[in-house]
């Protein structure tokens, strides 16, 4: 994220994953996956998925798990994560990871679950800044009235991810 130091950014590698849904740009440090975005970041691209670097091993695992997710055979992710954010953002993102596959919840429910029921707008903001789309399932958060609300990857992507999960969860 923007507050990474130069040395952290230099040790981060990126990979472009083509999927049926969208092209995704994954970045990883030697500690874990740092982002999954629909646009590239200003960090070096990995030359392959076979280099013996911790970042490459993390990227390769993330690509495999995402391919399994899109195929409907994975509902939870095991890859190490290393997002950067404020303590509040981290609390929201941790709560998002508890939303079951194929289910949705509201921003208000997330705010209540982290013990800050009046922080609905702040939860929405943290949700929008989630750097790890899909794995930290911010697409599963909807408005209290049942509408999709916003999504940093676009409402088309959010709708497609929710549809994929609902179809696969029924089987």
pLDDT tens column, 7-35: 444 589 999 999 877 899 999 999 999 99
Going by C-alpha positions, the residue among 20, 53, 127 that lies closest to residue 83 is 127
The alpha-carbon radius of gyration of the chain (Å, integer) is 16
User: Percentage of the chain surpassing pLDDT 90?
Assistant: 69
Kindly name the residue from 138, 141, 157, 162 that is annotated as catalytic: 138
pLDDT, tens digit, 9 for 90 and up, residues 97-118: 999 999 999 999 999 999 999 9
To the query of whether residue 105 is one of the catalytic residues in this protein, the response is no
pTM (global) more than 0.95: no
Domains and their CATH numbers in the chain: 6-70 (no CATH), 87-170 (1.10.10.10)
């Amino acid at each position: 994220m923007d507050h990474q130091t130069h040395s952290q950014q230099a040790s981060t590698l990126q990979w472009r994953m083509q999927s049926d849904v969208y092209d995704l740009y994954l970045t990883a440090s030697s500690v874990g996956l740092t982002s999954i975005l629909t646009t590239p970041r200003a960090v070096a691209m990995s030359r392959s998925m076979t280099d013996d670097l911790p970042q490459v091993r993390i990227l390769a695992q993330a690509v495999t798990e995402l391919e399994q997710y899109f195929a409907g055979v994975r509902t939870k992710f095991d890859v190490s994560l290393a997002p950067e954010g404020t303590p509040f953002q981290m609390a929201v993102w941790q709560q998002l990871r508890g939303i079951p596959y194929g289910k949705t919840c509201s921003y208000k429910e997330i705010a209540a679950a982290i013990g800050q029921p009046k922080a609905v707008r702040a939860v929405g903001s943290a949700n929008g800044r989630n750097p790890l789309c899909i794995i930290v399932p911010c697409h599963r958060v909807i408005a209290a009235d049942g509408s999709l609300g916003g999504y940093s990857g676009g409402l088309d992507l959010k709708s497609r991810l929710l549809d994929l999960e609902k179809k696969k969860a029924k089987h």
